[in-house]
Structure 1
Amino acid sequence: MLDWLAQAENAKPLGLVIFFVTFCAIVLWVYGSKKRGERLEQHKNIPFLDDEDESKDKSHG
């Protein structure tokens, strides 16, 4: 097994497996819990909240 890891041509498949497992773990972590999913739904409009606050400030001032 260590001989296989030491060969340079095996770096690409090993990296692919590592990144794929990491990607799957992140996807499961983000979408796996209902509580986390609800939090994501609440936070999806955060980029637009600043624009609404600025427009309210301009209309009042």
Structure 2
Amino acid sequence: MTTPCAWRKSSYSGGGEGNACVEIAHLRTRIAVRDSKAPARATLTFPSAAFTPFIQALKDTHVHLGR
């Protein structure tokens, strides 16, 4: 896997240290996701075409649970 060079924090990370967030990076054909509190640990990757439906499913679940 190619190492991402530009990680972005989630817009939901909030202020301060952003203790409860994830970071994403664009690779050539995939999107990489990692825990911002442990960036050296495992990184998940998704095909670019699958990332948008994945995020939408998370948003739908979030709304369904009333959060």
TM-score, normalization: structure 1?
Answer: 0.32
Q: Tell me: higher relative CO, structure 1 or 2? Use CA pairs within 8 A at least 6 residues apart.
A: 2
Task: Give the TM-score of the pair, scaled to structure 2.
Answer: 0.30
Instruction: Compare CA radii of gyration and give the structure with the larger one.
Output: 1
* Higher helix content, 1 or 2: 1
